Amino acid sequence: MMVIRPVQMEDLAAISELAAKTGVGVTSLPQNESSLEARIRRVLKTWSDEATQAEQGYMFVLEDTETKKVVGISAIEVSVGLTEPWYNYRVGTLVHASKELGVYSQMPTLFLSNDHTGYSELCTLFLDPDYRKNKNGPLLSKCRFLFMAAFQERFADKVIAEMRGFSDENGCSPFWESLGRHFFSIDFSHADYLTGIGQKAFIAELMPKHPLYVDFLSPEAQEVIGHVHPHTAPARKILESEGMKYEGYVDIFDAGPTLEAYVKDLRAVKESRVWRVEIVEATTGTTPYIIANDHFAQYRSLLAQPDFTETHICLTKETAEALQITENDTVRAVKLFAEEKNV
């Protein structure tokens, strides 16, 4: 059985193995064990209510209970940009006009922005390639929405997700080559690594603060603004199916899009319902649901195909044990997909 649970310090080695498989562009999962260890310690402080708002974050792992192997990770940061500036580019327009010359032109422009300061952030989503099946990806991503639904008071009103921008098979980013490289004599992969270990603000401070005309960039760079890496397309599709949208903000390094939404407007938050549990021998349901126990420090979430009565959700003993709940406890549940489909 595949179960979502809070990260533990004992998961560090497994998470380091996952980080080694990410490739370039997953900045919040660096191949640096000391940074990963520090982050795990920080989120453990969050769960024990010992972290300040600026430090707070949550990290979940997907565990194969048969093998006891951690095969996926996802996370939420509570409030970005409170300890150091949170930079991105807002894609906007500057108008140049002259009545005397009869000239009127609209120029697409990149404006350095801190507009998302204080928002919550969905981040660090990665699933072992061997487990990209059986709806594990949607579970790993959407389990965070049920956690936010249960504990909305712990998060900002709005949530964002920075999506991995385009880079080629050699880890080369056209956007970085056309813009960032002019200010730093380093490869994109190295800039990406520095970002992952907490030096993004330092790098961003050396980027130009004035508006940048998109037309001055290479055609290849212009083409990838707001586009995701091919491996990230499924993750973007999942978030957009839950109501998150691209509103014209992109990453300062690879121009990947930032998706955003009000937490209360997310489909899984709006449609999730709390049910009292009835334990049964077997279920006959055919629709996959994400089911979570709503326990803060002992949060558990999984996929199941339950039955329902007017007042209860019917779960098998195996499912109830995996969720660490018993008869007549309550769980939160929502359909995995807005419309039932095969994935």
pLDDT digits (tens, 9 = 90+) for 192-233: 666 665 666 666 677 788 899 999 999 999 999 999 999 889
CATH value at residue 280 = 2.40.40.20
Q: Please compute the mean of the pLDDT values over residues 297-309 and round it to a whole number.
A: 97
Position 243 in a domain:
yes
* DSSP-derived 3-state class of residue 117: coil
Residue 297 vs residue 96, higher pLDDT = 297
List, in order, residues 6 or more apart from 113 with CB less than 8 Å away: 87, 88, 89, 90, 249
Mean predicted lDDT score pLDDT of the chain: 91
Q: Is residue 226 part of a domain?
A: yes
Indicate the residue among 222, 240, 267 that finishes a domain.
267
The answer to whether residues 71 and 183 belong to one domain is yes
Q: Looking at the structure, do residues 55 and 141 belong to the same domain, yes or no?
A: yes
Catalytic residue among 116, 227, 229, 312: 229
DSSP state of 256: P
pLDDT of residue 143: 97
- Statement to judge: residues 283 and 313 lie in one domain: yes
Task: Over range 125-150, report the average pLDDT.
Answer: 95
| Number of domains making up the chain | 2
Same domain as 305, residue 238: no
Residue 214 and residue 168 share a domain: yes
Residue 94 domain-assigned (yes or no): no
Rounded-to-10 torsion of CA 191, 192, 194, 195:
120
Based on the fold, state whether residues 203 and 294 are members of the same structural domain: no
User: 101 exposed, middle or buried (CB, 10 Å; 0-12, 13-18, 19+)?
Assistant: exposed
Burial class of residue 207, CB neighbours in 10 A (0-12, 13-18, 19+): middle
**Could you tell me where the DSSP H helices lie in the chain?**
12-19, 33-47, 136-150, 174-178, 188-194, 200-204, 219-224, 233-241, 267-271, 317-323
Mark whether 237 and 307 lie in a shared domain. no
| 223 and 286 part of one domain | no
- Please state, in angstroms and rounded to a whole number, the distance separating the CA atoms of residues 25 and 99: 46
Domain extent, residue 311, equals 272-335
pLDDT in tens, 168-195: 888 788 999 899 888 876 777 777 666 6
Q: Which residue has the tokens 């260890």?
A: 37
Q: 109, 51 in Cβ contact below 8 A?
A: no
One domain, residues 141 and 276: no
Residue closest to 258 by CA, chosen among 105, 86, 95 = 86
Is the pLDDT at 24 greater than 60? The verdict is no
Based on the fold, state whether residues 174 and 31 are members of the same structural domain. yes
Q: What is the pLDDT of residue 198?
A: 62
Does 292 reside within a domain? yes
| pLDDT confidence bin for 98, thresholds 50/70/90 | confident
Residue where a domain terminates, one of 250, 267, 284: 267
243 and 286 share one domain: no
End of a domain among 225, 244, 267?
Answer: 267
Residue 104 belongs to some domain of the structure: no
**229 belongs to the catalytic site:** yes
Evaluate if residue 27 carries a pLDDT over 80: no
For 57-83, the pLDDT digits (tens) are: 999 999 999 999 999 999 999 999 998
| Residue of 340, 307, 301 lying closest to 324 (CA atoms) | 301
CATH code of 67's domain: 3.40.630.30
| Alpha-carbon span 73 to 196, nearest angstrom | 15
309: in domain: yes
Phi, psi of 59 (to 5 degrees): -130, 130
On whether residue 107 sits in a domain, the answer given is: no
pTM for the whole structure: 0.89
Let me know how long the chain is. 343
Asked if residue 102 is part of any domain, the answer here is no
Same domain, 257 and 276: no
User: Cβ-count burial of 37 within 10 angstroms (0-12 exposed, 13-18 middle, 19+ buried)?
Assistant: middle
Supply the DSSP symbol for 153.
G
